[in-house]
Structure 1
Amino acid sequence: IMYILIDKGKVRSECVITVENGNTVEIKNIATYPEDQGKGYAKHLINFIAKKYQNKYQILQVGTGDSPLTIPFYEKCGFKRSGKIKDFFVKNYDHPIFEAGHQLVDMIYLSKRLN
């Protein structure tokens, strides 16, 4: 399911979620235009999704690289580290992936209780 946040007639952020099981929904992708980052759009979208699904699911989770930009963002949104897939980015991509000068190696899972 894709959600799009539009403000003042312009798409600012988008989020794709999937239902993983009877208890969990997962953020598969969330993106905000670079000029709109740091303005609260992604956080607002996450809060909307959490509220929308709070009575149907127990957990909202996300998997991401161990980045100094991404992990603190999710933690500020109320997520806590809940797991890791070792060497995910090394084994599943044919080239190194970097974010903020940091090579992504492991997939870090974070989760947030919805109820």
Structure 2
Amino acid sequence: MINIVPILKNKKEFLELLLLADEQESMIDLYLERGEMYALYDGDLKAACVITDEGNGVYEIKNIATYPHYQRKGYGKRLIEFLLEHYKDRYHTLLVGTAEDTYTEDFYKQCGFTYSHRIPNFFTDNYDHPMYEDGKLLKDMVYLKISKNG
């Protein structure tokens, strides 16, 4: 049975999992303590996420990660559904940032997110090492959104 629980303390105990979605610990440190964290269990730990209140009804999913051997089994989608329901009375816009042209971007679109904006050179300017996905250098951060007002 799937159980999603808030993580109120010792969030760094989940660092190994969070690093799967954001591979630099110093970047995770920028949002981990100010964000609200949730862990998804289905027997054992399968996935976790961190969401932040950016003000004025805007929330941002800063990290959502599923252990590789549990990916593509619906756990990430279940976390998104949980966040949409749990925060429904608090947000007018839910943002998520990801690298462009990746499986992750497609995942968010399948969950109902649409293109919002991009930050050019985000990965090359903010990370201390080049990052690659499927052999492609990650440069721009693409933001996707779900907005209640269109």
**Is the shorter-chain TM-score for this pair beyond 0.5, marking a shared fold?**
yes
Secondary structure of 2:55's partner?
coil
- 2: CA distance between counterparts of 1:39 and 1:2? 21
Question: Does the CA contact (< 8 Å) of 1:30 and 1:42 recur in 2?
Answer: yes
Residue 76 of structure 1 corresponds to 110
Root-mean-square deviation (CA, aligned residues, Å) is: 1.2
State the shift of 1:67 in Å.
3.7
Q: Which has the higher contact order (CA 8 A, sep 6+)?
A: 1
Number of aligned positions between the proteins: 114
Q: Deviations over 1:16-53 (max 9, x none)?
A: 00000121110010100000000000010011001111
- Percentage of identical aligned residues: 48
From 37, 46, 62, the counterpart of 1:2 = 37
SS at match of 1:35: helix
Stretches of structure 2 that go unaligned for 5 or more consecutive residues are 1-35
- Name the TM-score, length of structure 1 as normaliser: 0.93
- Moved beyond 2 Å, runs of 4+: none
Task: With the length of structure 2 as denominator, give the TM-score of the two structures.
Answer: 0.72
Establish whether residue 16 from structure 1 lines up as the match of residue 50 from structure 2: yes
Does structure 2 conserve the Cα–Cα contact (< 8 Å) formed by 1:19 and 1:25?
A: yes
**Deviation at 1:100?**
2.0
Q: Residues 54-113 of structure 1: CA distance to partner in whole angstroms, max 9, x if unpaired? A: 112111111111142111011001001100110111111232101122211001100012
Selected match of 2:72 from 38, 60, 74: 38
Alignment partner of 2:77: what SS? helix
What stretches of structure 1 of length at least 5 have no aligned partner?
A: none
SS in 2 for 1:20: strand
Q: Give the corresponding residue for 2:141.
A: 107
Q: CA deviation at 1:114?
A: 4.6
